[in-house]
Amino acid sequence: MIRPQTNAWRQATDLSGIWRIRFDPAEVGETDGWHHGIGDNDTHLIAVPGSWNEQLSEAGFMNYVGAAWFETRIMVPPADNDGRIELRFASVDYHARIWLDGELIGESGAAMLPFTLDITDAAQRGGGARLVVRVTNILPADGPTQGITKATYAEERRQRDEYLPAVRFDFFPFGGINRPVHLVRRPRVAIQSYRAITTRRDVALVVEAPDDHTVLARLSGHGAAVEGRANVTAGRATLVLAPAEARCWSPDDPALYDLTIALIDQSGATLDQVSQRLGLRDVCVTGDQLLLNGAPLVLKGFGKHEDSPIHGRGLNLPQLIKDFALLKWTGANSVRTAHYPYAEEFYDMADEAGILVIDEIFSVNLDFRRVNATVLAHHKAAVEQLIARDRNRTCVIAWSLANEPGYLAEPEYRTHSPDYWRDLFAHARRLDPTRPVTHANVAYAGNDDPAFSEADIITINRYHGWYSDPAQLDRAHAALVADFDQLAAHGKPIFVAEFGADALAGEHATHDQLFTEEYQARFIETYWRAITKHPSVIGGHVWNFADFRTAQHGRRVVHNLKGVFTRTREPKMAAWTVKRLWTGQ
Ligand code: GCB
């Protein structure tokens, strides 16, 4: 998959701006012909990208889960025989159907992932066109994150109608066009895709393009410029670029090179060119260690969310810059994209800043009473799309295929999941043999979680001292060490992907008291002591980087308050604690 980019051969026009939206709770839009235009009644202005919830809370849409129709006008460039025109949506949450001048041009349920529609033949060239997108934030029951319906409430051990909106996860189901939309013009004869596999010394490229052309690739930076050339046969060209004195990429020295790949015809003319920034590094698991460039890693960092005031889950570039500054300030070297693929700009920043990324698919709390072949097929498709999008990312060091499956400790998890994991992990490894694959285990699924036998890293989320043994840190420490000792029998690296305590900024106590800043700080320090002492544990991620909005229910005070920063990014005491633990200052 090639990202929208602008150069002499490709043009990407960002369609971000103020669009119009019309909500459709009764789902009459299609029969009433809204795809020809959403009309003037009951419409609102809305920023794209952005979630509708907080933008339009005064109009009553804070908790809206359902269909909504977006409309804008686009300018389609004049016809040219050498070009294709595409619309590229970086993510529409969670499902989209798209019409151009009343004609259906496509749909996608790829939640939190991009999709592209070729509109070369559909669009009237050289004029304005009406773009209408029907979005719904209802999750289907058979996706890798299963949606919830009234019908399934009864089966849940928890009363899901305690939640507004009803969700099966602990974050807010923000709806909307949450990432940019681009109108892309690319050459008709073009580079289709490429794979860049790096070591510490070189990059091996596999470029997919039409036969009888030549691929010319160039890697430059840090005083080096190397070129390679290969002919395309059977749809691919392969070559290796090796700078004479390669400089490795790492969190301490995130040295990136500029990679450009050009497609040349037999007369020597350049038909297409794509580029990206790329670092030279390798990553692997050996015994119970995770190695970056041959040296054992200690992962220090956070689970995050894409969440900010007013934007919701919508791309918020100033906050992205701020978040990376705060990550560096704490001394973090890594992040897990809990619990879904993030915007591509996040990975740009991680590549530049030297933040290692555990890239997670959108699969939360998979309930194995309702897992079937269709769920598995959708899960595999999502893994495929994630890897297609992010496989050339230097920062991505591992794939996480699920967060907390078997969360209800349902007996079906033991019986049905082994085959499911075998199939899913093998699928991910086939698509990318170069990175470790893991999943985040919940305590209810046990230290003998069936997924562990497939995983390269034993990843766990633990809340001893919070959801169990509240305010008892000695017991929490003992329980965590007992987990580590049991898990070490797998003979693989152990990683604590979540540990944390809620703190309401400004709440204090001299004794251990839940929800105080002191307790959150002491909780993190206690866990960190155990994490750094155990030889098989390769690090931990505090849950969470910042407070984030959740559905409303009795156990959350507006937000999940486990952030070491507030939702508006002020530090709590715990932020200073992690800074001291991770930087020694
Ligand atoms: C978890 C989940 C995460 C929740 C967190 C919590 O285990 O993976 O999504 O937000 O616990 O705070 O309860």
Q: pLDDT for 59-71, tens place per residue?
A: 999 999 999 999 9
Q: What are the residues whose beta carbons fall under 8 Å from the beta carbon of 331, sequence distance 6 or more?
A: 300, 578, 579, 581, 582, 583
Q: What are the residues whose beta carbons fall under 8 Å from the beta carbon of 489, sequence distance 6 or more?
A: none
Active site includes 404? yes
Question: Of all helices (H) and strands (E), which one includes residue 336?
Answer: strand 334-336
* Ligand 1 atom at minimal distance to the Cα of residue 403: 8
Is there a contact between 518 and 573 (Cβ–Cβ < 8 Å)?
A: yes
Confidence bin at 148 (pLDDT 50/70/90): confident
Question: Of all helices (H) and strands (E), which one includes residue 377?
Answer: helix 373-390
Domain covering 193-278, topology: Immunoglobulin-like (2.60.40)
CATH 2.60.120.260 residue spans of the chain: 11-137+174-186
Is there a contact between 96 and 86 (Cβ–Cβ < 8 Å)?
A: no
Identify the pLDDT of residue 126: 82
Which is the catalytic residue, given 54, 71, 404, 518? 404
Q: Cα-flanking dihedrals φ and ψ of residue 542, to 5°?
A: -70, 135
Distance CA 223, CA 200 (A): 17
Q: Measuring CA to CA, which residue among 521, 533, 550, 523 is closest to residue 485?
A: 533
Q: Is the dihedral of CA 29, 34, 38, 42 positive or negative?
A: negative
pLDDT at residue 348 tops 70: yes
Give the total residue count for the chain.
Answer: 585
pLDDT at residue 150 tops 80: no
Identify the pLDDT of residue 79: 75
Identify the pLDDT of residue 160: 61
Can you tell me the mean pLDDT for 257-275?
Answer: 98
* Ligand 1 atom at minimal distance to the Cα of residue 550: 10
Please, what is the average pLDDT of the chain? 96
Q: Measuring CA to CA, which residue among 483, 480, 383, 391 is closest to residue 439?
A: 383
pLDDT at residue 123 tops 90: no
Of all residues in the chain, the percent with pLDDT exceeding 70 is: 98
- Ligand 1 first shell, C-beta below 6 A: 170, 339, 403-404, 442, 461, 498, 543, 560, 562
Confidence bin at 482 (pLDDT 50/70/90): very high
In the numeric block, which tokens belong to residue 349? 């920043």
151 class by beta-carbon count within 10 Å (0-12 exposed, 13-18 middle, 19+ buried): exposed
pLDDT at residue 156 tops 80: no
Can you tell me the mean pLDDT for 364-377?
Answer: 96
Which is the catalytic residue, given 71, 410, 498, 518? 498
Instruction: Give the tens place of pLDDT for each residue, 515-549.
Output: 999 999 999 999 999 999 999 999 999 999 999 99
> Domain 11-137+174-186, CATH 2.60.40.1180 — does that match?
no
Probe residue for ligand 1, chosen from 336, 498, 564 as the CB with the greatest number of ligand atoms within 8 Å: 498
* Ligand 1 atom at minimal distance to the Cα of residue 502: 12
- For ligand 1, atom 10, the nearest C-alpha belongs to 170
pLDDT at residue 265 tops 80: yes
Of all residues in the chain, the percent with pLDDT exceeding 90 is: 93
CB-CB neighbours of 223 under 10 Å: 9
Can you tell me the mean pLDDT for 395-412?
Answer: 96
Least confident of 104-108, 147-151, 234-238, 361-365: 147-151
Identify the pLDDT of residue 28: 98
pLDDT at residue 412 tops 60: yes
- Reduce the DSSP state of residue 267 to 3 states and report it: coil
Distance CA 338, CA 545 (A): 11
Identify the pLDDT of residue 229: 98
pLDDT at residue 260 tops 70: yes
pLDDT at residue 581 tops 80: yes
CATH 2.60.40.10 residue spans of the chain: 193-278
Confidence bin at 159 (pLDDT 50/70/90): low
Identify the pLDDT of residue 77: 85
Least confident of 53-67, 76-90, 332-346, 493-507: 76-90
Identify the pLDDT of residue 490: 97
- For ligand 1, atom 9, the nearest C-alpha belongs to 170
Identify the pLDDT of residue 157: 62
DSSP state of 247: -
Residue 162 to residues 66, 158, 165, 555, Cα–Cα distance (Å): 19, 8, 9, 10
Q: Tell me the whole-structure pTM to 2 decimals.
A: 0.98
Question: Of all helices (H) and strands (E), which one includes residue 80?
Answer: none
Identify the pLDDT of residue 189: 97
Distance CA 556, CA 502 (A): 9
Letter string b/e over residues 409-437, b meaning 16 or more CB atoms within 10 A of that residue's CB: ebeebbebbeebbeebbebbbebbeebbb
Letter string b/e over residues 178-204, b meaning 16 or more CB atoms within 10 A of that residue's CB: bbbbbbbbbbeebbebbbbbbbbebbe
Identify the pLDDT of residue 78: 83
Q: Following DSSP, what letter does each residue of 478-506 receive, concatenated?
A: HHHHHHHHHHGGG-S-EEEEEE---B-TT
- Compare 45 and 555 and report the one with higher pLDDT: 45
Distance CA 585, CA 582 (A): 8
CA of 460 from ligand 1 middle (Å) equals 11
Q: Measuring CA to CA, which residue among 285, 411, 376, 395 is closest to residue 334?
A: 395
Identify the pLDDT of residue 82: 84
